[in-house]
Amino acid sequence: MSNPLILRVRSALAGIDNPKTGRNIIADGMIHGLGADDEGRVRFTLVFDESADREEAEVLLTQAKKAAGALEGVSAVTAVATAHGSAKPSQGRHSPVSQQSRHSPSSQQSRHSPQATASAHENPFGLKNKPRVEAAAETLSGVKSIIAVASGKGGVGKSTVAANLAVALAASGLQTGLLDADIYGPSAPTLFGIKDKPAMKDGKIQPREAYGVKIMSIGMLIDPEQAIAWRGPMVMGAVRQLMSDVDWGDLDVMIIDTPPGTGDTHLSLIQSKRLTGAVIVSTPQEMALADMRRGVSLFRQTETPVIGVIENMAWLELPGGERQYLFGEGGAKKAAETIGAPFLGAIPLYPELRQASDDGLPLAARDHPGADVFKDLAAQISKAARSH
């Protein structure tokens, strides 16, 4: 989901320290949904802990906006600060730092109770009114297995992995769909080079098709900036409509790219009772691992099988063939063993993967060693999906 401008913004933001941890805000994983369009309009969300105070959030937000806005080629910056929910499954992941009542019982209730679907916000795409998420999922009767790709933390490459897995699954002969439900930072349009809006036919949204994968992204339906402030009922409505208003037809497997963390999207998917299982993507370093454990725990608590853990950006291969472990060696594998989740494999850091993603040409569809890595992961996932 990045382009050269995004990379420059990332490095400018990496110059801003979080006084609480002494690390920069990129290293702390606080920047989510970073995007930029051809006109140089940049957007991102700055995600804080629930414990962060409002003043501190506003200072960092101002600094971040200023740093991005000062870059050549940036015409506008839209950024908001949100609070990161705790890992408790009864809470959503994001709530605005500025919102006074974010812990109030009524806001908890409205997030996840079935009655929440009766909210006026339940129809975010402005389509016809729909029943609850469980019922919406019934319209996916032609879809044999549904796999959520999740990560505890942002920026670990979850969307890149989800997209390439979908391409590899399709290449293996399976009818495959990719539902990009990463509400706060949809990437599928960039990863597949899809620019235009999807067509409607007989009242249903038609998924796009690329590399044999049927693709629908929330980013094809709305401007991601609109979704930044969405909470429980809106998110639930969006997930429901991505399931029931899209003409998915018959699929062997549907991959769902979820937002980082554990929040309303995950709960909506779990409530749909259609998840075959979840795959967790993590980088090797400790901070990402702590979040990964929380993700695994949410799925386990709700009896959603954890198909396994994928370690991304595991190492960089040097020209002489040596491996450089930039984020530590084998951390995700060890963590998977500790928590008793299968380890599916490691994906190295491929500079070409980032380029391929920016160019809208998934690496899994190319003649590249990375394509074999995704092929192997896809084979394990489809085998596991058949057994669940």
Ligand X SMILES: Nc1ncnc2c1ncn2[C@@H]1O[C@H](COP(=O)(O)OP(=O)(O)OP(=O)(O)O)[C@@H](O)[C@H]1O
Contact positions vs ligand X (CB under 6 A): 1-2, 32-33, 151, 154-160, 182, 185, 187, 260, 312-313, 347, 349-350, 353-354, 357
DSSP string, 237-287: HHHHHHHHSB---SEEEEEEE--SSSSHHHHHHHHTT---EEEEEE-SSHH
Least separation in angstroms between CB 190 and ligand X: 9
Least separation in angstroms between CB 331 and ligand X: 15
By DSSP bridging, strand 213-217 and strand 76-84 are unpaired
Dist CA 10 CA 25 (whole Å) = 10
Least separation in angstroms between CB 159 and ligand X: 3
DSSP letter at 157 equals S
Radius of gyration of the chain, Cα coordinates, nearest whole angstrom: 20
Binding-site residues sit at 152-159
Dist CA 106 CA 272 (whole Å) = 23
Dist CA 388 CA 383 (whole Å) = 9
Least separation in angstroms between CB 210 and ligand X: 17
Least separation in angstroms between CB 178 and ligand X: 13
Nearer to ligand X, 187 or 241 (CB): 187
3-state secondary structure at position 136: helix
Nearer to ligand X, 176 or 357 (CB): 357
Residues 95/103, Cβ–Cβ less than 8 Å? no
The two structure tokens encoding residue 96: 């605005």
Nearer to ligand X, 151 or 382 (CB): 151
Least separation in angstroms between CB 303 and ligand X: 25
- What are residue 191's phi and psi, to 5 degrees? -60, -30
Dist CA 292 CA 275 (whole Å) = 19
Least separation in angstroms between CB 364 and ligand X: 12
What single letter denotes the amino acid at residue 79? A
Residues 153/268, Cβ–Cβ less than 8 Å? no
Nearer to ligand X, 137 or 335 (CB): 335
Nearer to ligand X, 136 or 228 (CB): 228
Residue 10 host element (H or E): helix 4-13
- What are residue 314's phi and psi, to 5 degrees? -65, -40
Nearer to ligand X, 236 or 313 (CB): 313
Beta-carbon neighbour count of residue 103 at 10 Å? 13
Dist CA 292 CA 310 (whole Å) = 10
Binding-site residues for ATP sit at 152-159
Least separation in angstroms between CB 157 and ligand X: 3
Dist CA 6 CA 23 (whole Å) = 20
DSSP lists the bridge partners of residue 42 as 36, 77
Residues 1/34, Cβ–Cβ less than 8 Å? yes
Nearer to ligand X, 185 or 277 (CB): 185
The two structure tokens encoding residue 59: 């200072």
Least separation in angstroms between CB 325 and ligand X: 13
Nearer to ligand X, 243 or 281 (CB): 281
Which residues, at least 6 apart from 261, have a Cβ–Cβ distance to it below 8 Å? 84, 85, 93, 151, 152, 153, 154, 291, 295
Nearer to ligand X, 300 or 354 (CB): 354
